[in-house]
């Protein structure tokens, strides 16, 4: 018995001594960054921008992989089940982290328990947009039509539980509206159908749609944040346009499997914070109405717990459950 205890104690000391050494060597190979949506959307755009800069800081590639299956749940499960060594990172945002546990009946993990947060990278407004040829030029016109024609207008989203989905659900609840949801596997495919007129409107992230707004392919009717954004100073907020008390946004962060060594997490956070504060990314973020955040892991977790409680209430009121 004593011999076994000494062996266990010796192994613990050996592993404790190895952890800093492993962290110093990390990363020795490319890091995989799973994005829980299809390519071409806002989450994907932010992920690729930050991944390139983090790669330069760490001296190893951070390779983006997209998987929008089941509202991002599959990507979350893949990362949660990966080795806790820092080489598999999840691009975390509302849907997979704080909405899906309340929306999907058969979700297999609790994201707030399965992952260790690294840092909250940034947050950005969403925008209510319609096709360029749409009859709507203001939120007032849009709201008047929806109220007179319940369930006639359809909207696309990046997927069930995504920021674009819940932003529309929140608008419907606060505005007393009936609208029809069409989920996609990312904002990119959803925007393609919006532009072609297959759907009528979308509330989507700034990074996913800013180019289309600039090109005149879609019209921006309102932003979702409490105040107007510098990126679209002439576009009103939904709250000031008739949807009282409306306020939401999209946020993006990095998480890794729970149990990842703290020195590895610290190294990933340090590289990420340096990356998002570089002049290039600051400028790109500003163009999307976003600013670098680079929170501590503790603050990121606290924010996600609060967001989970908020969206739990919204989902319950919507009576929406997905098998």
Residues 180 and 45 in one domain: no
- Write down the mean pLDDT value for the chain: 92
φ/ψ of residue 238, rounded to 5: -65, -35
Average pLDDT over residues 308-312: 95
Residues 120 and 147 in one domain: no
Residues 131 and 219 in one domain: yes
Q: Contact 50/33 with Cβ under 8 angstroms?
A: no
**Domain-embedded: residue 89:** yes
Residues 78 and 108 in one domain: yes
Residues 217 and 265 in one domain: no
Average pLDDT over residues 296-315: 96
Bridge partners of residue 113, in order along the sequence: none
* The pLDDT of residue 21: 57
Domain at 89, CATH number: 3.40.190.150
- Order of strands across the sheet with 126-131? 202-205, 126-131, 218-223
Average pLDDT over residues 214-233: 96
CA atoms within 13 A on the CB side of 278: 17
Q: Contact 35/65 with Cβ under 8 angstroms?
A: yes
Residues 169 and 213 in one domain: yes
**Domain-embedded: residue 59:** yes
Residues 135 and 200 in one domain: yes
Residues 114 and 258 in one domain: yes
Domain at 135, CATH number: 3.40.190.10
**Domain-embedded: residue 84:** yes
DSSP-based three-state secondary structure for 221: strand
* Whether the predicted pLDDT of 7 surpasses 70: no
Percent of all residues in the chain with a pLDDT value above 70, rounded to a whole number: 93
**Domain-embedded: residue 9:** no
**Domain-embedded: residue 75:** yes
**Domain-embedded: residue 6:** no
Q: Which structural domain range is residue 170 located in? A: 126-223
Per residue in 171-213, pLDDT (tens digit) is 999 999 999 999 998 899 999 999 999 999 999 999 899 999 9
Residues 118 and 155 in one domain: no
Residues 36 and 170 in one domain: no
pTM as predicted: 0.85
Residues 109 and 141 in one domain: no
**Domain-embedded: residue 243:** no
Per residue in 103-158, pLDDT (tens digit) is 998 899 999 999 999 999 999 999 999 999 999 999 999 999 999 999 999 999 99
**Domain-embedded: residue 53:** yes
Bridge partners of residue 90, in order along the sequence: 34, 255
* The pLDDT of residue 319: 87
Query: How many domains does the chain contain in total?
Result: 2
Per residue in 280-301, pLDDT (tens digit) is 999 999 988 888 999 999 999 9
Helices (H) and strands (E) in the chain, counts: 13, 11
Q: Contact 214/232 with Cβ under 8 angstroms?
A: no
Residues 152 and 104 in one domain: no
Torsion of Cα atoms, 20 then 24 then 25 then 26, to 10°: 90
Q: Contact 289/206 with Cβ under 8 angstroms?
A: yes
Strand ranges inside 194-322, DSSP E: 202-205, 218-223, 250-257, 291-292
Task: Give the end of a domain, one of 170, 205, 223.
Answer: 223
């Amino acid at each position: 018995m004593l011999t076994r205890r000494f062996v266990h104690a010796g192994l613990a000391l050996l592993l404790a001594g190895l952890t800093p050494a492993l962290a110093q060597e990390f990363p020795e190979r490319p890091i995989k960054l799973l994005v829980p949506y299809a390519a071409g959307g806002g989450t994907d755009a932010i992920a690729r921008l930050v991944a390139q800069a983090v790669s330069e800081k760490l001296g190893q590639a951070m390779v983006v992989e997209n998987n929008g299956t089941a509202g991002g749940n599959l990507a979350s499960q893949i990362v949660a089940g990966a080795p806790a060594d820092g080489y598999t990172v999840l691009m975390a945002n509302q849907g997979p982290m704080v909405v899906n546990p309340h929306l999907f009946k058969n979700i297999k993990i609790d994201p707030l328990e399965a992952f260790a947060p690294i840092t909250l990278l940034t947050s950005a407004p969403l925008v209510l947009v319609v096709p360029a040829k749409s009859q709507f030029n203001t939120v007032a016109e849009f709201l008047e039509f929806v109220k007179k024609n319940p369930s006639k207008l359809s909207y696309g989203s990046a997927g069930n539980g995504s920021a674009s989905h819940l932003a529309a659900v929140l608008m419907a609840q606060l505005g007393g509206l009936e609208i029809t949801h069409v989920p996609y596997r990312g904002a990119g495919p959803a925007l393609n159908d919006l532009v072609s007129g297959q759907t009528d409107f979308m509330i989507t992230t700034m990074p996913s749609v800013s180019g289309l707004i600039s090109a005149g392919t879609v019209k921006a009717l309102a932003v979702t944040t409490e105040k107007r954004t510098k990126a679209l100073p002439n576009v009103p907020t939904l709250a000031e346009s008739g949807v009282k008390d409306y306020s939401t946004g999209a946020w993006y962060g990095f998480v890794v499997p729970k149990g990842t060594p703290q020195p590895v997490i610290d190294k990933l956070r340090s590289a990420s914070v340096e990356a998002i504060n570089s002049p290039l990314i600051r400028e790109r973020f500003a163009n999307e109405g976003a600013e670098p955040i680079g929170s501590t892991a503790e603050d990121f977790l606290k924010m996600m717990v609060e967001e989970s409680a908020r969206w739990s209430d919204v989902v319950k009121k919507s009576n929406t459950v997905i098998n």
